[in-house]
Amino acid sequence: MKYKMIFCDLDDTLIDSNQVLGRKTINAVKKYQEVGGIFVICTGRMTVGAIPVCKKLNLKNELISYQGAVITDLKTNNVVFSTNIKNEDAIKIAKFAEKKKNYIQTYDGDYFYTQEATSFTKMYGELSMADYVETKIPLSEFLEKSNINPPKMLLMDNPEKIPQILKDFSKFEKKFLINTSKPFIIEIIPKDINKGLAVKKVAEIHNVELDDIICVGDSDNDLKMLEVSGLPIVVENGTENAKKIAKYIAPNCNENPIATIIEKFCLDNKNL
């Protein structure tokens, strides 16, 4: 089998636009694993929000979450790698967001935190299958009191406002990777990690060469992952930036693209 590992984004790639994991996809991943393939979810989601999908796919290897900031061994539930934003930097980011009157949230353990829940908070919680906590005080003040070193911070707004927010927060780009995962979401993580670096770390654990892996994504936070892949694939609903890197454009997320990819590139006809 040429492609021994598949690293796959979760939202709008592995699952469809209604947050459904298709039966064809489940069956294809099962067949891929039965013939020795290693399937790894690589997502910007919190770990707790990705675990249910891992269980549906019966994944037993690693899970990459928080856009590469955390790698978890699914067999033991132990974190094998993690990085975070230093508390003093998280406070600076939160204060800047508060000054600009931007919605901002951060993370610790199985929860995400924001000052007061909005429609964005509730939507994010539903999409990511995670619970939130209202701090009731400015997030910067909460960070000061709690001394949390979060894996990432996240901003949300209407899509037409995102370009200006990205421009505003570019002042932090020397230390942080700032990109979008959905048209209304901006994610901020330490610059010394990204999905691509996380893919390299997990591939090394399994002694698999990068030329022998497929990476599948849809958004700009998948670019680093796609760049390191032997076969970078983007779903039809992906961003133009992602498609520029792709060697193959898969069907959109509502058409079980991962099943198509596995059948096309990973399985012999006898396995179909």
Q: For the whole model, what pTM was predicted?
A: 0.92
Q: Do domains 5-82+193-271 and 87-190 have the same CATH topology?
A: no
* Mean pLDDT over the full length of the chain: 96
User: What pLDDT is attached to residue 1?
Assistant: 80
Fold (CATH) for 5-82+193-271: Rossmann fold (3.40.50)
- DSSP states of the chain: ----EEEE-IIIIIS-TTS---HHHHHHHHHHHHTT-EEEEB-SS-HHHHHHHHHHTT--SEEEEGGGTEEEETTT--EEEE----HHHHHHHHHHHHHHT-EEEEEETTEEEESS--HHHHHHHHHHT-EEEE-SS-HHHHHHHH----S-EEEE--GGGHHHHHHHHGGGTTTEEEEEEETTEEEEEETT--HHHHHHHHHHHTT--GGGEEEEE-SGGGHHHHHH-SEEEEETTS-HHHHHH-SEEEPPGGG-HHHHHHHHHT--GGG-
Please report, for the chain, the start and end positions of each structural domain, with discontinuous segments joined by +. Answer: 5-82+193-271, 87-190
Range 87-190 classified under CATH 3.30.1240.10: yes
pLDDT in tens, 31-73: 999 999 999 999 999 999 999 999 999 999 999 999 999 999 9
Q: What is the mean pLDDT of each run of 10 residues along the chain (272 residues)?
A: 95 96 97 97 96 97 97 96 97 98 96 97 93 98 97 98 98 96 95 95 97 97 97 98 98 98 82 36
